[in-house]
Amino acid sequence: MAVGIFDSGLGGLTVWDAVSKRLPEVPFVYLGDNAHAPYGVRDADDIYDLTTASVSRLFEAGCDLVILACNTASAAALRRMQEAWVPEGKRVLGVFVPLIEALTERQWGDNSPPREVAVKNVALFATPATVASRAFQRELAFRAIGVDVEAQACGGVVDAIEEGDMILAEALVRSHVDALKRKMPHPDAAVLGCTHYPLVEDVFRDALGPGVTVYSQPTLVAASLADYLARRPEKVGAGTESMFLTTGDPKRVSSRATQFLRRQITFRPA
């Protein structure tokens, strides 16, 4: 009855942590493609090829449902995968959906015409590949009008987090927030469009200042997944074992993961 969670590296552990607490009875198989991280500087075809290879491995592990806990993969590969690649009986979901549900206060199944929503000025912080895809703006436009989105490509942040250099990560976050504010001085809301960013969410909040609503993905994804599985329990796969897989060095990845989550996490080779 396993559910798969995929990320290019360690950021998706923020989603794993939230969903495993929300759904303790569900075994989760986490796969980090650490050998090829970060995805945010790769082109769309490369991201697609790497993502499908990893998702195939999660299908092999008994997962019928896989969450792409990677905004870059969700932005650059998900639609193509859903249209032409995902095998019958399997399902792959991304992490934009819960964000946009929360931002627009609309359920994903609400197919009524786009309408005005409370937020008007949204700052989007994401990887260069996610920003270039404009996937967030496209999905938002299906549901809301009158929302100005200013995107900031946060180069270097994921690399610093993956290397465990949190001092550099903080400096980069503050630099990117300053750059965003020069383009949009007074955002109503900020979207942390990368699952690595909750690890430095307090820095984003401090740099943005009071009065800005910050949307971070882990708890939103956990609530959305719980609702989805309540409606589609057949999508919980045949696997019964929780595990952590990596394409990188298991010892090194385990050490970094344990450091991030402050509890022992042990990866094995994918």
30, 35, 25: which is closest to 7 by C-alpha? 30
> HEC string of 167-204?
HHHHHHHHHHHHHHHHHCCCCCEEEECCCCHHHHHHHH
Q: What is the pLDDT of residues 64-78, one digit of tens each?
A: 999 999 989 998 899
Assess whether 122 and 159 both reside in one domain: yes
- Report the mean per-residue pLDDT for the chain: 92
State the pLDDT at residue 239. 65
Assess whether 197 and 110 both reside in one domain: yes
- Partners of 93 in the beta sheet? 67
Confidence band (pLDDT; 50, 70, 90) for 19?
Answer: very high
Assess whether 88 and 146 both reside in one domain: no
Q: Coil, helix or strand for 65? A: strand
Burial of 247 (0-12, 13-18, 19+ CB in 10 A): buried
Looking at the predicted structure, is the pLDDT value of residue 264 above 90?
A: yes
Assess whether 165 and 186 both reside in one domain: yes
State the pLDDT at residue 237. 64
Assess whether 205 and 222 both reside in one domain: no
Domain around 260:
3-95+218-269
Assess whether 81 and 155 both reside in one domain: no
Q: How many domains does the chain have?
A: 2
Assess whether 206 and 133 both reside in one domain: yes
107-122 average pLDDT score: 84
Assess whether 84 and 10 both reside in one domain: yes
d(CA 46, CA 151): 23
40, 44, 20, 42: which is closest to 30 by C-alpha? 20
d(CA 24, CA 36): 30
Assess whether 207 and 256 both reside in one domain: no
Percent of the chain at pLDDT exceeding 90: 71
Alpha-carbon separation of residue 167 from 4, 95, 161 (angstroms): 32, 27, 9
Q: Which residues are catalytic?
A: 70, 194
State the pLDDT at residue 49. 97
Largest Cα separation within the chain, whole Å, is: 50
Assess whether 57 and 124 both reside in one domain: no
Looking at the predicted structure, is the pLDDT value of residue 108 above 90?
A: no
Domain CATH code at residue 211: 3.40.50.1860
Assess whether 123 and 191 both reside in one domain: yes
CB atoms within 10 A of CB 52: 17
Residues in the chain: 270
Assess whether 21 and 86 both reside in one domain: yes
Q: What is the pLDDT of residues 183-196, one digit of tens each?
A: 999 999 999 999 99
- Scan for tokens 């970060």, then name that residue: 38
- Scan for tokens 């996490």, then name that residue: 265
Contact 167, 192 (CB under 8 A): no
